[in-house]
Structure 1
Amino acid sequence: MAKSKVQFPHKLNGNAPKKRTASSSNESEGSPVRTKDVKTNGTIPAQQQLQIQQSEYEKKKQTFITRTIWTLAMIAGFFFFMFSGHVYILFLETAIQIICFKEVINIAQVPTKQRELPLTRSLNWYFLAITMYFLYGESVIYYFKHILLVDKVLLPLATHHRFISFMMYILGFVFFVGSLKKNHYRFQFTQFAWTHMALYFIVVQAHFAMNNVFEGMIWMFLPASLVITNDIFAYICGITFGRTQLIKISPKKTVEGFVGAWICTVIFGFLLTNILMRSKYFICPVTDLGANFWTGLDCVPNPVFQAQPWQLPVWTGVTKTFWIAPIQGHVMVFATFASLIAPFGGFFASGLKRTFNIKDFGDSIPGHGGMTDRMDCQFIMGLFAYMYYQSFIAVYKTTVGSVIESAIVGLTLEEQVEVVRGLSKYLYNQGVLTDKALSALTKQLPRR
């Protein structure tokens, strides 16, 4: 007869003696402890296991409450900034950039080496400041030339902005090379490359998202809403229908959730666009930085928001005419990108966190982790929205700023005076200027 395998309670793996527990001691002494209160492996009593389960439940409950409260707070804060005006939403996006940059930089820090190389961290923030100065300056100059180019103090900063930005960057580069120390080269060059990667993936992409605000609030709000909606429906469809794993880097993502979220996001995009396009506050470009939702904006709407007749092909047998605004077709592209491409920004962030063996980028938002964890898909979506808008939707025409810039750059002072004189006569002939105004203006202008 074959020998049966017997495990002795006083041995571990058949060799080392096993540490006696209080429960096992009580049993040997005839204690009234019931065997059903002890797990079959003889390690954790049922009562202690129940306490652990209750503790985990309370922890999850508290996390859910915290997460819900901060979610509602973020939504309320976002709408407050958006309705308060374009300047407020720009300040919000600037703060988000700085927080995300700080979180990404911190995960590659080595405290001991940072103390030995204090200039390294200072250079990180210096390069951030220079990059933001360059990108913000480009936006301000592009959209507000008519203000900057007529100011005596701001004119040099506007006309030489790129050269000033370049020289400031070169200064930082020189300081970096001068700060190199023996036995720290690898760390310093790694930090240099890591800083520039963070600047590209965060600040540069966010810069284009900020430009969307100048073109009209809808071009910022709509893409951001589509990403959030897709994330919500991906979770709902995933836990409801999810069976097939989508990508190994993010095991909880499923193909069913991915496709289901795409369909739901397209439907949501159509509905939201139909609401937003009715408000000029959302569709008008920025002309007054002091405007808000209650004061409103006024403009000639972009043709993309104007309904146009559309008919089904003849072979369908349907002769009814449908009035559809072109934006409804464009939003399908936005929703598709938000559903099929933007999530890969999140997958990229997941891979980055796995590389450094961290759960979140930080703890900036209680219950949600870091700001970067919430914005990983938004940056690439904002960049796409800008590129798509400039390529297929924007209406290019001569602006006051462009005319002033051409006159300043391409004409001498005498020729600029002649332009003013000619415009004065034209405005007088159109009835805009009175005789007295024309006379006062032309007398003050110097003669050639």
Structure 2
Amino acid sequence: MTKPRRGVRFPNRSANGHATLEARRSSMSEVSEDGTGAPMKTRGSSQLDNIQEKAQDPPQSDYEKKKANFLVRTFWTFVMIGGFFGALFSGHIYIIVCITVVQIVCFKEVIAIASVPSKARDLKAIKSLNWYWLATTMYFLYGESVIYYFKHIVLVDRVLLPFATHHRFISFVLYVIGFVFFVANLRAGHLKFQFTNFAWTHMALYLIVVQAHFTMNNVLEGMIWFFLPASLVITNDIFAYVCGITFGRTQLIKLSPKKTVEGFVGAWICTIIWAFLLTNVLMRYKYFICPVNDLGANVFTGLECDPNPVFKPQTYTIQLSSLNSGNYMPFLRDIQFTTEPMQIHAMILATFASLIAPFGGFFASGLKRTFKIKDFGDSIPGHGGMTDRMDCQFIMGCFAFMYYHNFIAQHNVGLGDVMSLAIWGLSPEEQIELVKGMTKFLENQGTWGPEVSSCIDQALPARQ
């Protein structure tokens, strides 16, 4: 193998290679492509000066960046407030649509932070399967709500009746199909990533979709059970910030260094006061306190119902005289006051929103620290991701649902309950006899005349 010779000069190179290169570039720029020798059009000196000036523009200061971020954040805050109250006053169906959009966006943000782009490209079925899990879960949960709250409509429809009767089995079959598809697509070398994604997706379904489902049920039970808990969380967050910067000194938790004990306690007191005032206003409107019996209703048309007893004033007595058994404290007297039981329930909801719901935010902060990210996404300009705004709302909505059904709901037998019992518990012959019996009863009550009962008896076949 020959060695390269030193000191050999090439004819096209000079001692100053850069100068020769620049000369060649300039000569090329001076000759047109058609070879006529006409000079080519080059950028004017003014344009080059502008480019240099733009390149030398100083970067924005921290103050300018904060100002711009503040303006964007403020603008989108008012957009979200306007959109929320617009949906709130337009009707229950619009709020349900908003909840659906929120849970889909949050699910997308949560599963995205645990994905590895390179592996996701190799496993194209992973992304499709994540959305399949979401669709299957939403089908099951939304179907449960529709059957529970609108069984008097679903059970009398010929098309919807089979889906209502076998809803849970259909949901299970859909899940099994996804499970089999997941196992069939397991690939060596990617097993850890696939199983991690499987567990992460199911965690997101539980923490986001399932808890958002309870929030949707709160809307159907009455708008107050959705709006009051949601407003308490927002109010507590605002008061925690105000109290924290005003007299906060003691750090509350290491996950959120800016959270203080003083702000935590001060926000609790302020949230209880806000709950008392807001509840006093909402109880005056049946649109907020009535369960949904008309999905087309809005704040202008309103709803009609017999209000739950928790919205009616009651007199309470605190017996302090019983503590004065030896007549040592004659100043002790029984205290009586009259208020709606809902005010007491509102204070309990405010306490949960102040002392427990913030831990949903702490959990989200720990999750972001784990993945070393500032926000879950950029769905809301200036605010980060949707999950950053809803981290406390999910657990609050779940608690409001559980609390309502355990301590407030009236478990009376409704029309839908009787119809479901008759449809699923009686044979067709027994259902015919039930209709005939109700026909005779209504005739005896004077609801309709004997001619109606006669027509129904002739139309219905006799029991074998």
In 2, the alpha carbon distance for the partners of 1:419 and 1:119 equals 53
The aligned residue for residue 324 of structure 1 is 339
Pairs within 5 Å for 1:134-153: 134-153=140-159
> 2:384 is paired with a residue of what secondary structure?
coil
The aligned residue for residue 226 of structure 2 is 220
> 1:446 is paired with a residue of what secondary structure?
coil
Q: Indicate which of 341, 344, 356 corresponds to 1:341.
A: 356
Larger gyration radius, structure 1 or structure 2: 2
Q: Indicate which of 414, 425, 432 corresponds to 2:440.
A: 425
Deviations 1:119-178 (A, max 9, x none): 011000000000000000001000111111111111110010000000000000000000
Aligned residues: 398
Deviations 1:91-128 (A, max 9, x none): 10000000000000111111111111000110000000
The aligned residue for residue 204 of structure 1 is 210
| Structure 2 residue 183 is matched with structure 1 residue 183 | no
In 2, the alpha carbon distance for the partners of 1:208 and 1:399 equals 21
Deviations 1:389-448 (A, max 9, x none): 011000001111111111111111010000011111111112212233222222211112
In 1, the alpha carbon distance for the partners of 2:257 and 2:335 equals 48
Shift of 1:52: 8.0
In 2, the alpha carbon distance for the partners of 1:166 and 1:266 equals 43
Q: In structure 2, what residue type is equivalent to 1:379?
A: F
| Structure 2 residue 116 is matched with structure 1 residue 101 | no
> 2:186 is paired with a residue of what secondary structure?
coil
CA contact (8 A) 2:320 2:335 kept: no
Q: Indicate which of 279, 282, 289 corresponds to 1:276.
A: 282
In 2, the alpha carbon distance for the partners of 1:57 and 1:214 equals 46
The aligned residue for residue 301 of structure 1 is 307
Deviations 1:19-56 (A, max 9, x none): xxxxxxxxxxxxxxxxxxxxxxxxxxxxxxxx989721
Residues 418, 66 of structure 1: alpha-carbon distance in 2 compared, 3 angstrom cutoff: same
Deviations 1:64-113 (A, max 9, x none): 11111111111111011011111110010000000000000111111111
> 2:61 is paired with a residue of what secondary structure?
helix
In 2, the alpha carbon distance for the partners of 1:319 and 1:262 equals 29
Q: Indicate which of 371, 374, 383 corresponds to 1:359.
A: 374
In 2, the alpha carbon distance for the partners of 1:318 and 1:75 equals 48
In 2, the alpha carbon distance for the partners of 1:244 and 1:345 equals 21
The aligned residue for residue 239 of structure 1 is 245
Deviations 1:375-400 (A, max 9, x none): 00000000000000011000001111
Q: Indicate which of 161, 167, 170 corresponds to 1:164.
A: 170
Deviations 1:342-369 (A, max 9, x none): 0000000000000010000000001100
TM-score of the superposed pair, with normalisation by structure 1: 0.87
In 1, the alpha carbon distance for the partners of 2:300 and 2:456 equals 38
In 1, the alpha carbon distance for the partners of 2:457 and 2:305 equals 33
In 2, the alpha carbon distance for the partners of 1:319 and 1:179 equals 72
Deviations 1:283-342 (A, max 9, x none): 000111111111110000000111001234343655674221111111111001000000
> 1:309 is paired with a residue of what secondary structure?
strand
Pairs within 5 Å for 1:74-93: 74-93=80-99
> 2:363 is paired with a residue of what secondary structure?
helix
> 1:310 is paired with a residue of what secondary structure?
strand
> 2:396 is paired with a residue of what secondary structure?
helix
TM-score of the superposed pair, with normalisation by structure 2: 0.84
In 2, the alpha carbon distance for the partners of 1:320 and 1:356 equals 55
> 2:299 is paired with a residue of what secondary structure?
coil
Q: In structure 1, what residue type is equivalent to 2:355?
A: L
Pairs within 5 Å for 1:369-380: 369-380=384-395
In 2, the alpha carbon distance for the partners of 1:293 and 1:442 equals 44
CA contact (8 A) 2:319 2:335 kept: no
In 1, the alpha carbon distance for the partners of 2:239 and 2:451 equals 66
The aligned residue for residue 5 of structure 2 is none
In 2, the alpha carbon distance for the partners of 1:330 and 1:142 equals 25
The aligned residue for residue 128 of structure 1 is 134
Q: In structure 1, what residue type is equivalent to 2:238?
A: I
Shift of 1:209: 0.8
In 2, the alpha carbon distance for the partners of 1:364 and 1:176 equals 29
In 2, the alpha carbon distance for the partners of 1:174 and 1:264 equals 52
Q: Indicate which of 52, 71, 75 corresponds to 1:65.
A: 71
Shift of 1:252: 0.5
| Structure 2 residue 451 is matched with structure 1 residue 440 | no
CA contact (8 A) 2:275 2:350 kept: yes
Q: CA RMSD in A?
A: 1.4
> 2:157 is paired with a residue of what secondary structure?
coil
In 2, the alpha carbon distance for the partners of 1:190 and 1:409 equals 42
| Structure 2 residue 431 is matched with structure 1 residue 416 | yes
